[in-house]
A and B are shown apart, each in its own frame.
Chain A
Amino acid sequence: MRDLVRTFFRRPAGIVGLVLLGLVCLMAALAPVLYPASPWEMTGVPFSRPGENGMLLGADTLGRDVASGVVHGARVSLLIGIASALAASCIGVLLGCIAGYAGGLVDMAIVRFTELFQTIPTFVLAILLVAILTPSLATIILAIALVSWPPLARLTRAQVMSIMRREFVQAARCQGQSTLSIVTRHVLPNAISPIIVAGSLTVAAAILIEAALSFMGLGDPNFMSWGYMIGAGRTVIRQAWWMSVFPGLAILLTVVAINLVGEALNDALNPRISRA
């Protein structure tokens, strides 16, 4: 464990990522303290420039505070990113385990199914899902999870298949342990580290999909989100650049931070396959 922490912090990129991510999380946690009013509330003069009328990042076309939107948007982005990555990991790990363990026809069916999901334009499917099921936090999380699981399933399958051949698994089988016990006690714990890395990178991808969905007008109408803010700023970009610039920077920083942490985690957890 100590080695893990030490390798993680050896690369400055990991530290930068962790600090950035910490700041975003802090922003999300402190949103109700920093900006107690709802980000939808029209508190200022419409089209205020950044710094004008006491608004740090300016106001939008209706006089809503952009800074308040950015801070509150962090909660939605992180929530949806983490929840959908977790859901995608559950689907991926489950299918990957079944395919890798069962082999044969079951394996072939799952592999084909996964391939199909990897070739189709997943963003179009996500749009279709959210539009038909009506946009809400739950449907957005479901849609992102449904389009994000295939790489995780492939990775888990490959991991499970290579570990299944090891002696300790065969020993457990000779002892007469049940399939469930072999998979959960012996196979998964040894297969999990690359899955954790892939799962953490899925959070970043999920945040980007969420932003794109709400940019297209498919966000949950009850929550302020970064993608929605950029979408609202699109038509008035000539008059109010700040409406789209700041939420975009927030997305960029968050995604960079998660990717940096994910890569550092990769170096720490999988020292042998880390990049040159």
Chain B
Amino acid sequence: MMHALRLLLGRVTGIAFAILAIATINFVLVHSAPGDPALVIAGQSGATDAKFIEQVRADYGLDRPYLVQLGTYLGKVVQLDLGYSYRQRRAVSELILERLGPTLLLTLSAFVLSLVGGVLFGALAGRRHGSWSDLTISMMALLFYATPVFWLGLMLVLVFSIQLEWLPAFGYSNMRSGTFGTFDQAVDVARHLVLPAVTLSAIYMAVYTRLMRSSLIEVQHEDHVRTARAKGLTEAAILRHHMLRNAAVPVITFAGLQAGALIGGAVVVETVFAWPGLGRLTFEAVTARDYPVLLGLFLVTSILVIAVNLLTDLLHRLIDPRVVTR
């Protein structure tokens, strides 16, 4: 018990340090920008308002020494004050909170899809090592691994929305809430979700397929598999009980580490599909040069990723007792 408590305490301090480090990166960035840091904090549209600039300068103590400024900034972050978007006339934390849901829905769906697809295709390819199906799957994985995500999204829109007219090309929902039943709304959102989720998952599916394939090929030669075969088990049973489970471990471990990359991918995918999440907010902020929103987004997405990493780590410990508690 004491051990677990100490472990948890260590983790929490580690996370606190990480968050402070990320906030410090933000601070350094604001100050390394060409020109007045007050103009960066105000964003391009806020920079035209002299009164607002004065207020920013006073708020962040920009006439005081660097260290005091850093302290002021970190203090604001700790109090969840991520600044004010002059352009949207709202607090940055509010803007981000509002867009969190759709991004979580998209990244989570893409994550599950890529993991399931990757393990499946990788197993299919690895089992028949050197066969035509292996060659085809490996080639596809190679291609998808090299495809720019945003371009893949556009191509899917071209085929499935414009040519075939099967799925909506962009947006989150066509229905206004309140006028339709919950079920209809869920179906509508799900229809909008298909293309963005497939797009975002493709590159990771390719990575997991390759990982799973090589992992399965390796497991094939292990002693316990040979023993199972000697016992006279059917090939299907050997695959299911003795190979897949062991082969999938490195894939799942690796997938847990991909949370940061997944968020980065979501930024681009949401831009293509006008999906109203954090990524779309990033694109809007880039276009308007709304720096406080960008700084806030970097901080929040980083914290999100750190939280996900902690969660996968804990899950890993629960599932696999061999993971040593450090």
B247 CB to nearest chain A CB (Å): 13
Check A127/B21 contact, CB under 8 A, given A218-B286, A230-B150.
no
B169 CB to nearest chain A CB (Å): 8
| A216 & B283 in contact (Cβ 8 Å cutoff) | yes
B42 CB to nearest chain A CB (Å): 13
A147 to B, closest residue via Cβ? B264
Among the 9-residue stretches A24-32, A42-50, A192-200, A237-245, the one with 4 or more Cβ atoms under 8 Å from chain B is A237-245
| B286 & A217 in contact (Cβ 8 Å cutoff) | yes
Among the 9-residue stretches A87-95, A118-126, A178-186, the one with 4 or more Cβ atoms under 8 Å from chain B is A118-126
| A212 & B149 in contact (Cβ 8 Å cutoff) | yes
List residues of chain B with CB within 8 A of the CB of A248. 147-148, 151, 154-155
A86-120 interface (Cβ within 8 A of B): 116, 118-120
Chain B, residues 265-284, CB within 8 Å of chain A (1/0): the string is: 10110011000000000110
B158-208 interface (Cβ within 8 A of A): 158, 162
| B142 & A256 in contact (Cβ 8 Å cutoff) | yes
Chain A, residues 123-138, CB within 8 Å of chain B (1/0): the string is: 1110111011110000
Check A252/B291 contact, CB under 8 A, given A123-B267, A127-B282, A217-B286.
no
Check A216/B271 contact, CB under 8 A, given A124-B298, A132-B29.
yes
| B148 & A212 in contact (Cβ 8 Å cutoff) | yes
Chain A contact residues: helix, strand, loop or mixed: helix
Residues of A within 8 A of B (CB): 116, 118-125, 127-129, 131-134, 204, 208, 211-212, 215-218, 227, 230-231, 233-234, 237-238, 241, 244-245, 247-248, 251-252, 255-256, 259-260, 275-276
Q: Which 5 A-B pairs have the closest CB atoms?
A: A123-B264, A248-B151, A255-B146, A121-B263, A256-B146
| B298 & A121 in contact (Cβ 8 Å cutoff) | yes
List residues of chain A with CB within 8 A of the CB of B146. 204, 208, 252, 255-256, 259
Q: Report how far A69 CA is from B301 CA in the complex, Å.
A: 35
B69 beta carbon closer than 8 Å to chain A: no
13 A-B pairs with CB atoms under 8 Å apart are A119-B257, A120-B301, A121-B261, A122-B264, A123-B261, A123-B267, A124-B297, A128-B298, A132-B33, A208-B146, A215-B150, A248-B154, A276-B214
List residues of chain A with CB within 8 A of the CB of B33. 132-133
List residues of chain B with CB within 8 A of the CB of A216. 267-268, 271, 282-283, 286
List residues of chain B with CB within 8 A of the CB of A251. 148, 151
B234 beta carbon closer than 8 Å to chain A: no
Having A134-B34, A216-B283, one finds 6 other A-B pairs with CB under 8 Å, namely: A119-B260, A124-B297, A128-B298, A131-B289, A251-B151, A256-B146
List residues of chain A with CB within 8 A of the CB of B271. 215-216
| B260 & A121 in contact (Cβ 8 Å cutoff) | yes
| B147 & A121 in contact (Cβ 8 Å cutoff) | no
A115 to B, closest residue via Cβ? B18
| B294 & A131 in contact (Cβ 8 Å cutoff) | yes
| B32 & A133 in contact (Cβ 8 Å cutoff) | yes
Contact of B162 among A121, A122, A204, A237 (CB under 8 A): A237
Contact of A121 among B154, B264, B286 (CB under 8 A): B264
Contact of B150 among A122, A133, A134, A212 (CB under 8 A): A212
| B40 & A132 in contact (Cβ 8 Å cutoff) | yes
B309 beta carbon closer than 8 Å to chain A: yes
| B295 & A128 in contact (Cβ 8 Å cutoff) | yes
List residues of chain A with CB within 8 A of the CB of B151. 211, 230, 244, 247-248, 251-252
List residues of chain B with CB within 8 A of the CB of A276. 129, 214, 217-218
B287 beta carbon closer than 8 Å to chain A: yes
B305 beta carbon closer than 8 Å to chain A: yes
List residues of chain A with CB within 8 A of the CB of B265. 123
Q: Report how far A211 CA is from B214 CA in the complex, Å.
A: 30
A146 to B, closest residue via Cβ? B25
Q: Report how far A127 CA is from B32 CA in the complex, Å.
A: 15
Q: Report how far A244 CA is from B272 CA in the complex, Å.
A: 12
B157 beta carbon closer than 8 Å to chain A: yes
